[in-house]
Structure 1
Amino acid sequence: MRSDDVLAVFDVGKTNIKLSAVDAGGRVLETLSLANPVREGPPWRHHDLAAIRAWLFDGLGALARRHALAGFVPAGHGSGGVLVWDDPDMGGDGAALPMIDYEQPLPEEVRRAYATLAGPFFDRGSALMHGATHQARQLFWMEREAPQAVASARWYLGIPQYWAWVMSGVAVSEASVLGAQSHLWNVPERRWAAIVPARGWGRLMPPFARAWERVGSIRPALAARHGLPPALAVFAGGHDSSVNFYRYQAAGLREATVISTGTWIVGLSGTTPLEMLDEHRGMTCNSDVFGAPLGGVLSMGGREYAAIAGPDAPQVPVAVETAARLAARGTMALPSFGDSDSLFPGSAGRGRILGEPPATAAERKALAVLYCALLTAECLAALGPGREVVLDGSFVREPLYPALVGAFAPGRRVRFSLDAYGVAAGAALLAGHGARTEPVPVDLSEPGALPPVFTAYAQRWRAAVHRDAPAPAGS
């Protein structure tokens, strides 16, 4: 790609979808967004691929009228896959079966049967998570529910590769998507998990491409129908968090631990020893876009934040004085308020407020920010002692959050990026990977110092969490 090229980046999140025009240096020029549409069954709750496809091509046509688009780079979360036919236009979206919403509860018989097949931790890359999370578990459910459709299908594709296939007609597999708790790929050994040959799924898995590889050009009929450049390059794309992590790799920050925040707090580190990964504490073995292992940790911070802050959280930033008042009087939120244990085994659904409860909406928001900063510090501790830390995502727009993380994680250099489009920037940088000769610039800020009341508060919170932990099974 040339330095003046513009890329269309398609970022499929669980909650929202973004289509951005991004220059080759990672600067976002324009973004369109859509709430990710979900339909109820049958046969299960699923994402509306046909509606997304119509929106995508309308958006691409609009962007092409305003920008000289040279390429298309897809990114997406790792907890979904699409079983497809040979032809991307069959059935309107090419899908042999609807794409399962990973928060759809599993039938009990599917859950039990899959648990006996999932294999050891490094085959899975994670614990067995909630709902229909994990591409392998979704494919297993499809196989039980609609065996003929699975037998007749041609490929099973992660979300970014599905959209690359829709655009180009070329099917590929990609390491960072498969290494995002798909349960299909053993990241450390760089091989298919044992469940793939055991179930005969190898025939559904296309050849590999690197996230930055051009897999083809836009299909001529699509270019003509939607007014798109006929030479528009289509790239393989990758897992959203790994693509965001690549942005810092491209900047030369290869030793940094990156914490991205939103619906999930996602921590990734290339320096975490594999033996530190504990599947019972929300830890994962991910893959970067180069196929190398990344220590990971997951906490559903966005949902936890919402549960504590409530629906009436004020828009104004949390005042340091409000948070300090809560800290001084010992008001604490203890895990976990959602249906996931994350770093605290046995805590799901047991979240509670310790001490004098927050009295106002401003105090509830302050408590939510304190709690999420403490979760972040626990994620950092789980990933090891790496000194360099980068925070990004929606939480850093709250000015107190990065400063609290710095206070709760002493001995580390905490910086943060206010760029709201890290995935889009990373994806655009992928397109120039092969030609890059020097690190790309990244704008990072340092949080300010906070009074010692917060350090003491973190110590008391950790002691309370330890006291509150349920006894091990059988004790």
Structure 2
Amino acid sequence: MIDHTASASICVLDVGKTNVKLNAMTATGDVVETLSIANPVRPGPPWQHHDLAALGDWVFEGLATLARRHPIKTFVSAAHGSGGVLVGSDPDAGDGAVLPMIDYEQPLPSAVREAYAPLAGSFRDRGSAIMHGATHQARQMLWMEMAEPERFATARWFLCLPQYWAWRMTGSAVSEASCLGAQSHLWNIPDNRPTPIVTTRGWERLLPPFAPAWSSLGPVRPALAQRYGLPPALDVLVGIHDSSANLYRYQAAGLTDAAILSTGTWIVGMSRRTRLDDLDEAAGMTINSDVFGHPVAGALAMGGREFVHVAGEGTGSAAVDPATVMALIGRGTMAVPSFGDGDGFFPGSARLGHVVGPEPQSAVERRALALIYVAQLSAECLDALKVEGTAVLDGTYLKDPLFAPLVAAFRGRGETLFNLDAYGVATGAALLASHGTSSASDSLHLRSADVFQAPPDITTSYHRRWRELARQAKPSSERTFP
């Protein structure tokens, strides 16, 4: 339960692809107040890009507003892993960027796409398959260098988003392990070295020295504090990748051996215990880094859009009825991946998604089928990571009381816990301010998931059949890197 009377001493900037939030938070990671805005994107030229100038005004003005209402002492940022900014030497030169920040959800020019794959190195180097569009920061850098070589040559640093905002506030530029380890394709995590494309293109000069996510870069710059009315002694931390922040909250609380599965737009599984040799690049598995620089095995599946494909638009948010779920499972109705443009765990399945068995007869049944489907994807994520022990579920899907029981049923092994807190990223980022203390244990409110009440042989056979059908998709010999 959130204590709204507690003092909010930390401000967390949470930069998502679609929305940006400023959260006033307590030392134990409780959200007291939130400001939010859509993440502005502008068309080219030279490419579709984020409006950092407009966003900067909103961030600094919003921070000043929160600081007037709460005793804010610390600022820290968390952000998605596909954002980076090529900057100059002066954070006061407009938004500081030498070239506009690329919106990763857009097609690459064919010349960039063709040039990238031979430079990108092995799976061990990259930490992931080569994904769609401009997802990887190394791809963004190659695009900028090929399109604007003269302006690219004037750049001083390439900064991941949390470190960009820290630089804007303090003038200090650093790299951070979890951010560069989030499929940037710039850093080989297991071997702790730059990837081949960085050394081949001479980009080492653009990557500043590393600093821990929890370390202080000092107070906000006096000129910025005066311009926006910020607290002059505001301490700015290095910042962290969003999924790694969520993982950190559990690590800091002592759950170092548990696998963490976060749900939302993406289903993201992370496990320290999974061997890197067991990861399958073709199934969308990843090598991430935690805040300590340790490799973390990961598994990714597109959850949000797959859910919408099955449920349809406007199906509401009412909890799914167990009887409806049992009826669908009993008659063998299942959604077989993948409905979107990605293969997920099943190579060759992109855009082949379909419903097997009797079709859902109503919006209620479609929503129930979608919930079953994302529970199966979540269980597959944990199985891909070979998770035998405890798994902790959190995120958007926990809003439906049946999600955790369904995952527990489809897993069929290991303890399944869940966390109803919807602010895992912000909480993990806020706990960086108390790194090394016991505050993190006070932020967890875990519950044990009851297995969905259905005969085990029915759910087991249903899930086995679903997996068999999903794996029937065959990769085409003509398929190429995106």
Normalising TM by the smaller chain, what interval?
over 0.9
Aligned partners of 2:310 and 2:366 also within 8 Å:
yes
Distance in 1 (CA, whole Å) between partners of 2:427 and 2:315 is 30
Quote the residue 1:273 is aligned against. Answer: 275
Quote the residue 2:248 is aligned against. Answer: 246
User: Unaligned stretches of 5+ in structure 1?
Assistant: none
Quote the residue 1:15 is aligned against. Answer: 18
1:347-366 alignment to 2 at 5 Å? Answer: 347-366=349-368
Quote the residue 2:136 is aligned against. Answer: 134
Quote the residue 2:397 is aligned against. Answer: 395
**CA displacement at 1:324 relative to structure 2:** 1.0
Identity of counterpart residues, as a percentage? 58
- CA, structure 1 residues 464+97, in 2 after alignment: closer, same or farther (shift >3 Å)? same
Aligned partners of 1:123 and 1:194 also within 8 Å:
yes
Per-residue deviation, residues 3-56 of structure 1 (Å, max 9, x unmatched)? 967110001011211110111111111111112111111111111111211111
1:208-219 alignment to 2 at 5 Å? Answer: 208-219=210-221
Which 4+ residue blocks in structure 1 deviate beyond 4 angstroms? 435-441
1:87 maps to a residue whose letter is D
1:404 to 393, 403, 406: 406
- CA, structure 1 residues 326+26, in 2 after alignment: closer, same or farther (shift >3 Å)? same
Quote the residue 2:3 is aligned against. Answer: none
- CA, structure 1 residues 471+8, in 2 after alignment: closer, same or farther (shift >3 Å)? closer
Distance in 2 (CA, whole Å) between partners of 1:169 and 1:127 is 34
Per-residue deviation, residues 248-292 of structure 1 (Å, max 9, x unmatched)? 001110001101111111110001101011111000000000000
**CA displacement at 1:471 relative to structure 2:** 5.9
Aligned partners of 1:250 and 1:440 also within 8 Å:
no
1:372-451 alignment to 2 at 5 Å? Answer: 372-436=374-438, 439-450=441-452, 451=454
Distance in 1 (CA, whole Å) between partners of 2:264 and 2:356 is 25
Aligned partners of 1:11 and 1:18 also within 8 Å:
yes
2:71 to 40, 62, 68: 68
RMSD: 1.5
User: Unaligned stretches of 5+ in structure 2?
Assistant: 1-5
Aligned partners of 1:336 and 1:351 also within 8 Å:
yes
1:198 to 193, 197, 200: 200
Aligned partners of 2:28 and 2:439 also within 8 Å:
no
Q: Describe the SS at the equivalent of 1:9.
A: strand
Aligned partners of 1:64 and 1:227 also within 8 Å:
no
Distance in 2 (CA, whole Å) between partners of 1:134 and 1:48 is 19
- CA, structure 1 residues 437+310, in 2 after alignment: closer, same or farther (shift >3 Å)? closer
**CA displacement at 1:386 relative to structure 2:** 3.3
Query: What is the TM-score normalised by the length of structure 1?
Result: 0.96
1:22 maps to a residue whose letter is M
1:458 maps to a residue whose letter is H
* Residue 460 of structure 1 pairs with residue 462 of structure 2: no
1:15 maps to a residue whose letter is T
* Residue 328 of structure 1 pairs with residue 330 of structure 2: yes
**CA displacement at 1:441 relative to structure 2:** 4.5
Aligned partners of 2:28 and 2:440 also within 8 Å:
no
**CA displacement at 1:396 relative to structure 2:** 0.8
2:81 maps to a residue whose letter is G
1:174-189 alignment to 2 at 5 Å? Answer: 174-189=176-191
Aligned partners of 1:24 and 1:428 also within 8 Å:
yes
Quote the residue 1:287 is aligned against. Answer: 289
Q: Describe the SS at the equivalent of 1:445.
A: strand
Aligned partners of 1:389 and 1:415 also within 8 Å:
yes
Quote the residue 1:470 is aligned against. Answer: 474
Quote the residue 1:52 is aligned against. Answer: 55
- CA, structure 1 residues 100+435, in 2 after alignment: closer, same or farther (shift >3 Å)? same
Query: What is the TM-score normalised by the length of structure 2?
Result: 0.95
